[in-house]
Structure 1
């Protein structure tokens, strides 16, 4: 008994001595963790980055915590070894686009941190923090693909504390019934919990809690946009980076999730509980994750709509208390690096036709058969169906969209082959879907932020390596996720080769250096590119490729003008996917 008492008395002192002598031992607010050293690729072989993998930032969202906001981790005794990444969160269906890892678990709320193992000699005692949010349409995705080598060599080597984490996705992250008892947005609450963990603990890792940049790609960029809007989160960081994603797009925020949750509930024999959210949650908790995933697969992993996603954020009156514009008006101004690629939806429509996130892909054997009839049918049935507009307006709206996108139809004449005609209309299809899902929503966000005085750095990526493309893909351009290889060594398309060409490496340097400089200074300018903010020069943007330049004109002003005028004149906002008066979605009309 005496030995036990002595141990309990001496253990804290032993740990304190160990912490003083062990640079990889950190005392978080919840307990001790131990990371490990990672030797970086540097001429100075003595330089090490400190790596911490699989840090719990919330209690496991299982059993009674499924479909609930995340709770703070319980404090633990002893030292937790953080040397392995936590599992990925489950996607909405078994064959999610980015669900490439076998290691999935409902217990998935873990964080990874890489921090320089040396003193900061740049005038600051602490290092700036880069907090990365992965993409995947809110339904798939994982940060397990971002290796410790990338974290160390691409970011911490550049005097940055780099943070990645998992958040709940798909039905486990966003299922909702629309009332306060089952409000959804659990994945966003996970992101908030991760941010709070970083804000409260990052100084112990050498990070500066007053210099946090949140950075996201695709749905991660949409999340960055949402976190900038929500009054619960927008004071926890100082800067934002959005790559190919915004909360102004229809796919980012929709009440459709309520209808999809009802469908799933009926398939798993929980239909009788509809109407009582607490009973429904109880029933859904009794089902295995596999049962829930199989149910969504039966529903269809994606809808054949412009907004093809099933489980996404919604305006819940708490995390997101108001409509997007109202929240933006009340949000604090922050420095924002934001941009897109030229042909975003090329990824979904042609490059990966088996994608679980869209139902609008053009299959390989249909590419050469795509014609004007199919293009116009898409507009009339999917983009602007008559039922969502007032009586007599539907056909008028449809014709305006067709005329706008086929303004250069004179290019096509009798001398063109059937294949050339198909490629023309196919490219228009890619342009239209890219505009609706990415470019126009981003331009709207930029427009309203600029009105409020945000320092904005806008870019467009037009770089791609045509050598990587499959031979059967006739349209080539900068696709969605072209940034992942140069920034994270991640390739979600099998045709991308791992060895970069000389031009690839130049583009990598341009993009990566801009990100690093923005994290450190709030300005993405490099030695090769003097990049002023839109606040200083409203009509310009950076064109990023292997030889970047500043373009002294606004980015696609004609597209923004067309869609803004269409929205002002008619009752339904096609870009946001809502009726302007009732705020009903397409499904509710």
Structure 2
């Protein structure tokens, strides 16, 4: 069970007889120099790798809240990255890391060796990696990319712990979020020693990492540890981001891990799972199936637990301190999961359409998906309500069905496949994000929203007929992560221009609170334009008046008028999940 976190920041040099020695609250560490060329001027970045921020979560500390690291007396060499965390399943080791360990609660820090112009502390950027709470590693980010792209200071956290839970106080779950909390507490207490300003921390994340940012923003335990947030393709208002279904998935895992005789006693169940090897746990998840065949494909997620989250998501947001927020999506996020992911990837829950199946995709396929997966009748108070909801969804997405009249079978198949992509992109990313920004705007949060519509078609396999800006499109320009969802071997001139637009926007937001760049003056949401957004691409980035207001309105009305909230995956009255009904 895995969650990945990485931090990036922008601080001052360390004042010491040895410039590579830093005394943390737990002991002294020694880093090393990394030379970079910035604007043709050689500069040195100080690197500190493998700094523990918690005790190793092994043996009896597995499936427990993290504890502070043990203090050390001798100088600790921080010259090598800690091992990558284990994913949920072996096929999730898509980074090909040969060095995995449960003992992975460490951070890496890169800090400039030159003084700031004004002598002040620098702002801090925290980055939380994606991977569906189950795969990926911050070790995918090259050290040189951390130094060059942010040219200030980068912190990278890696840590194990997923979200297995039995739903009671003995095995409450959310351990990954508790690890994030511990990491942020370490940053608060130590970042000034690296030149970072503990009063100017921005946390950001991609995908599940963005959902974690959203979660940390509303939990009263964590939301005072930072001042700004950036969410890229993820929100805690998505069903895949938070669900009590983790309780039922934990029971399934226990059965496949030969702990089924402990299901009636959560203490004994946790004890049994603690006694299993990592390989036994990964094998159990592999055999139970590592993902569901629906937009909420993730098995082990956070849950509302009356501890980290003492109230429901919307109430917590209403009571949370206001923060500046940069948030956005790619225009066709679901492309990655439906047409681009390798069939062996652990997050493919059966939703993908293989190349050989594309030309036969039909209206029947789309309607069956809506009726059986998105809105099955069993979710609603009666069969008639279920049928009514199903038909409204089908009518909304196929309202332009006349476009396929008179077209050949291939064109018709592509039309319905696009609709399949649309509804998955909407349910997983766009509509939940719009709901979150709507609630934030109502509470007075300064929100800057964007949508990316750029992609380079040369990276697409030739057998993929539908192209668009996909889930992961931010990772190459921001972090040089070039293997999601396909390998990018070199950047084109247009790619580099897009990198300039996106990276400069992020850096400016972190340093000034406003993402505006020379070619685009960003505007936050306001009363006149409550859904305005920046359309990001390399050639013509621009502000537009409203992002999919018709989609937000449709799904909001569906939620208001019927008994089950399909965006959050909850019965409105009982707040029960699909598995609890």
Quick one: which of 544, 565, 568 aligns to 1:573? Answer: 565
Is the alpha carbon distance of 1:310 and 1:495 closer, same or farther for their aligned partners in structure 2, counting shifts above 3 Å? closer
Instruction: Provide the residue aligned with 1:177 in structure 2.
Output: 166
Deviation at 1:98, TM superposition (A): 4.2
User: Could you tell me which of 303, 308, 317 is aligned with 1:314?
Assistant: 303
Unaligned runs of 5+ residues in structure 1 are: 1-17
State which of 59, 77, 84 in structure 2 corresponds to 1:81: 77
Query: Structure 1 residues 214, 249: closer, same or farther in 2, change over 3 A?
Result: same
Report the 3-state secondary structure (helix = DSSP H, G, I; strand = E; otherwise coil) of the residue aligned with 1:53: strand
Q: Between Structure 1 and Structure 2, how many residues are aligned?
A: 564
Q: Per-residue deviation at 1:277?
A: 1.5
Distance (whole Å) between structure 1 residues aligned to residue 321 and residue 485 of structure 2: 41
Q: Answer whether contact 1:341 1:460 (CA < 8 A) is retained.
A: yes
Q: Distance in 2 between matches of 1:485 and 1:438?
A: 20
Q: Which has the larger radius of gyration?
A: 1
TM (normalized to structure 1)? Answer: 0.94
Deviation digits for residues 155-196 of structure 1, max 9, x if unmatched? 1x2xx322221132xxx4211000011001110001101100
Q: What's the offset of the Cα at 1:576? A: 0.4
Distance 1:552 1:470 in 2: 31
The C-alpha deviation readout for 1:476-514, integer Å capped at 9, x for no partner, is 000000110111111234644321111111101000000
Q: 2:132 maps to which residue? A: 137
Describe the shift of the 1:494–1:399 C-alpha distance in structure 2 as closer, same or farther (beyond 3 A).
Answer: closer
Conserved 8 A contact 1:32-1:80: yes
2:472 matched to which residue of 1? 481
Which of 243, 250, 267 aligns to 2:232? It is: 243
Give the number of the structure with larger relative contact order, counting CA–CA contacts within 8 Å between residues 6 or more apart: 2
Counterpart-to-counterpart distance in 2, 1:85 and 1:357: 26
Work out whether residues 522 and 543 of structure 2, in 8 Å CA contact, stay in contact via their aligned partners in 1.
no
Q: Which residue is equivalent to 1:503?
A: 494
**Of 360, 373, 381, the match for 1:369:** 360
**Residue 516 of structure 1 contacts residue 524 of structure 1 at CA under 8 Å; is this kept in 2?**
yes
Equivalent residue number for residue 491 of structure 1: 482
2:150 counterpart of 1:161: no
Distance 1:75 1:31 in 2: 6
1:40 Cα offset (Å): 1.3
Which of 56, 59, 80 does residue 63 from structure 1 map onto?
A: 59
CA contact (8 A) 1:137 1:309 kept: yes
Alignment CA distance shift 1:472-1:97 (3 Å):
farther
CA contact (8 A) 2:95 2:140 kept: no
Asked if 1:586 corresponds to 2:575, the answer is no
Q: Is contact 2:57–2:102 with CA below 8 Å preserved after alignment? A: yes
| Cα shift at 1:547 | 2.3
Aligned to 2:8: none
| Residue 392 (structure 2) aligns with | 400
User: What residue number does 1:42 align with?
Assistant: 38
Aligned to 1:9: none
**Alpha-carbon shift at residue 549 of structure 1 (Å):** 3.1
Deviation at 1:218, TM superposition (A): 0.3
Give the drift of 1:320.
1.1
Structure 1 residues 379-426: Cα deviation after superposition (integer angstroms, max 9, x where no partner): 000000000011110110000000000011001023x22111111111
SS in 1 for 2:140: coil
Residue number in structure 1 paired with 2:445: 454
Which residue number in structure 2 is paired with residue 125 of structure 1? 120
Task: Tell me if structure 1 keeps the 8 A contact 2:53–2:183.
Answer: yes
Aligned to 1:497, the other structure's residue is in SS state coil
Deviation at 1:282, TM superposition (A): 1.1
Structure 1 residue corresponding to 2:97, chosen from 75, 97, 101: 101
Look up the SS of the partner of 2:213 in the other structure: helix
Task: Give the aligned CA root-mean-square deviation in angstroms.
Answer: 1.4
CA deviation string 1:417-465 (max 9, x = no partner): 2111111111100010000000000000000000000001000000001
Following superposition, the deviation at residue 309 of structure 1 comes to 0.7
Q: Secondary structure at the match of 1:78?
A: coil
CA distance in 2, matches of 1:180, 1:308: 26
CA contact (8 A) 2:535 2:544 kept: no
Q: 2:347 aligns with which of 341, 357, 362?
A: 357
Q: 1:222 to 1:98 in 2, by over 3 A?
A: farther
- Counterpart Cα distance in 2 of 1:548 and 1:191: 37
CA distance in 1, matches of 2:155, 2:312: 30
Secondary structure of 1:436's aligned partner: helix
Q: What SS is found at the alignment partner of 1:71?
A: coil
* Residues in 2 aligned to 1:503 and 1:246: alpha-carbon distance in whole angstroms: 29
Deviation by residue 1:523-560 (Cα, 9 ceiling, x = unmatched):
00011111111147534210000024333311100000
Partner of 1:438: 429
Q: Which residue of 1 aligns with 2:217?
A: 228
- Paired position in structure 2 for 1:325: 314
SS at match of 2:115: coil
Alpha-carbon distance between aligned partners in 2 of 1:97 and 1:36, rounded to the nearest angstrom? 29
In the alignment, the residues of structure 2 paired with residue 409 and residue 218 of structure 1 have an alpha-carbon distance, to the nearest angstrom, of 32
- In the other structure, the counterpart of 1:146 is 141
How far apart are the structure 2 equivalents of 1:257 and 1:185?
Answer: 10
The 8 Å contact of residues 353 and 361 in structure 1, kept in 2 or not, is answered as: no
Correspondence for 2:10: none
**Cα distance, 1:480–1:97 mapped onto 2, change above 3 Å:** farther
Distance change in 2, residues 1:548/1:319 (3 Å):
farther
Structure 1 residues 584 and 85, CA gap change in structure 2 (3 angstroms): same
Q: Distance in 1 between matches of 2:215 and 2:579?
A: 23
Q: Any residues of structure 2 matched to 1:410-559 within 5 Å, and which?
A: 410-414=402-406, 416-493=407-484, 495-535=486-526, 537-559=529-551
**Is 145-154 or 244-253 further displaced after alignment?**
145-154
Q: Secondary structure, in 3 states, of the residue corresponding to 1:376?
A: helix
2-structure distance, mates of 1:262, 1:208: 44
Gaps of 5+ in 2: 1-13
Supply the distance in 1 between the matched residues of 2:222 and 2:484 (Cα, whole angstroms).
34
